[in-house]
Amino acid sequence: MSTPTVAGQPEANPRSGRPLVKITGLKKYFPITRGIVFQKHVGDVHAVDGVDLEVNQGETVGLVGETGCGKSTLARVIMRLYESTEGTIEFDGRDITHMKGGELRELRRDMQMVFQDPYASLNPRKTVGSIVGEPFQLHKTVERTKRKATVQELMELVGLNPEHYNRYPHEFSGGQRQRIGVARALALRPRLIVADEPVSALDVSVQAQILNLLSDLQKEFDLTYLFIAHDLSVVKHVSDRVAVMYLGKIAEIADGDSLYREPRHPYTGALLSAVPVADPRLAKQKQRIVLEGDVPSPIDPPSGCRFHPRCPQTKRLAKADGRTDGVEPRCMEEDPVLRPFAQGHTAACHFPLEDPIIASTGD
């Protein structure tokens, strides 16, 4: 596997080396306004609230979390589809946070996106050929006369029949449409692909086909993936490292296996225990931590640790301390920072889980 190097940059080890994407203190607030003429700023939705994340060249980083935790917003800020409120985004050593115009357009060649809904993300009035070939037209990387051949090559690469060049999206099934989306993302030979829930709209058997395709393409083109999904088992399967998000912040980052075996953040523990297992005996043995309530509103996130109103760990500790409010004071007052537990394993919790949750038999 070769790592393309940029002149003037020191060459790095492809796995542990210089990150391809590095975000620091990234925030994205959406303003809430009242009034029609004089729009008064009355608050903010704290969609992404201080995220640090590095994605290395050739690696797959998975991003999981419940609806509304900010994972899609984070992806769109990295893609420069949204302006960030605060913080910096570096791509391949360059600060791209405020990049504009022609430079930004150049940059878009290197980062592409695959969307969730293969029904909504393809223009129904265009043929597959023109959908997949449009990037060439915009970026003028392939001459007009060679376009058709290049598009057909791409179609073959993602497992579509190149003879279907002139067909429309409605003539394809869900899985095939997602392949079209992947072909379009690949057209400019990007280095980073951000996949936002690429398989959640597909049937399980087709989902496995697309996951295998993505991993084949990664090997072939040395791609870097940021893979967003709410399905933990899918994310663990594809990712080298998994970041768990809760209410705009990262709660825990680790490689898939240690996240599964030794989750440190109580939220990760609860998420893992909620995943259904296709094995009835195992499922019945499994201790299930059911989180109460819903994710709080990101307009006015809870003080201190954002997870404290739903956290089973703080509740248990408070009970042991004889407190009646069910919360440890530290969780309510102090916002935990990400701290390391093992090589490459960090979590943001004052009272992390100690025993591997899956093996534990009771309180």
40 touching another protein, by CB under 8 A:
no
Token pair listed for 149? 């051949």
* Binding region for another protein (CB under 8 A) out of 50-58, 108-116, 183-191, 271-279: 271-279
CB pairs under 8 A, 24+ apart, for 324-330? 330/304
* Binding region for another protein (CB under 8 A) out of 76-84, 117-125, 201-209, 320-328: 201-209
**Considering only residues 276, 320, 361, 363, which one is a binding residue for another protein as defined by CB under 8 A?**
276
Residues in Cβ contact with 326 at an 8 Å cutoff, skipping those fewer than 6 apart = 314, 315, 318, 319
**Considering only residues 39, 161, 173, 303, which one is a binding residue for another protein as defined by CB under 8 A?**
173
**Least distance from another protein to the Cβ atom of residue 293, Å:** 8
CB atoms under 10 Å from CB of 86, counted, come to 14
Residue (of 336, 313, 333, 309) closest to 251 by Cα position: 336
Judged by CB, which is closer to another protein: 67, or 324?
Answer: 67
Beta strands in the chain (DSSP E): 19-34, 40-56, 60-64, 86-91, 94-95, 111-114, 192-196, 224-228, 241-246, 249-255, 339-342, 345-347
Judged by CB, which is closer to another protein: 149, or 283?
Answer: 283
Q: Are 47 and 30 contacting, i.e. CB atoms less than 8 angstroms apart?
A: yes
171 touching another protein, by CB under 8 A:
no
Window 46-85: contact mask with another protein (x via CB under 8 A): --------------------xx------------------
**Considering only residues 24, 85, 150, 233, which one is a binding residue for another protein as defined by CB under 8 A?**
233
Binders in 321-360 for another protein, by CB under 8 A: 358
282 touching another protein, by CB under 8 A:
yes
170 touching another protein, by CB under 8 A:
no
Judged by CB, which is closer to another protein: 280, or 362?
Answer: 280
**Considering only residues 45, 182, 272, 327, which one is a binding residue for another protein as defined by CB under 8 A?**
272
Judged by CB, which is closer to another protein: 88, or 233?
Answer: 233
220 touching another protein, by CB under 8 A:
no
**Least distance from another protein to the Cβ atom of residue 288, Å:** 6
User: What is the enclosing helix (H) or strand (E) of 229?
Assistant: none
DSSP secondary structure letter of residue 335: P
Residue (of 90, 69, 67, 70) closest to 78 by Cα position: 90
Token pair listed for 301? 């996130």
Q: Are 166 and 127 contacting, i.e. CB atoms less than 8 angstroms apart?
A: yes
Q: Are 162 and 155 contacting, i.e. CB atoms less than 8 angstroms apart?
A: yes
Beta strands in 229-352 (DSSP E): 241-246, 249-255, 339-342, 345-347
Judged by CB, which is closer to another protein: 286, or 330?
Answer: 286
**Considering only residues 284, 359, 361, 363, which one is a binding residue for another protein as defined by CB under 8 A?**
284
Q: Are 255 and 345 contacting, i.e. CB atoms less than 8 angstroms apart?
A: yes
**Which residues on adjacent β-strands are paired with residue 54?**
22
316 touching another protein, by CB under 8 A:
no
**Least distance from another protein to the Cβ atom of residue 88, Å:** 31
100 touching another protein, by CB under 8 A:
no
212 touching another protein, by CB under 8 A:
yes
Side-chain-side CA neighbours of residue 106 (13 Å): 8
8 touching another protein, by CB under 8 A:
no
293 touching another protein, by CB under 8 A:
yes
Residues that bind another protein (CB under 8 A): 66-67, 173-176, 203-209, 211-212, 215, 230-234, 236-237, 256-257, 260, 270-280, 282-284, 288, 290-291, 293-294, 358
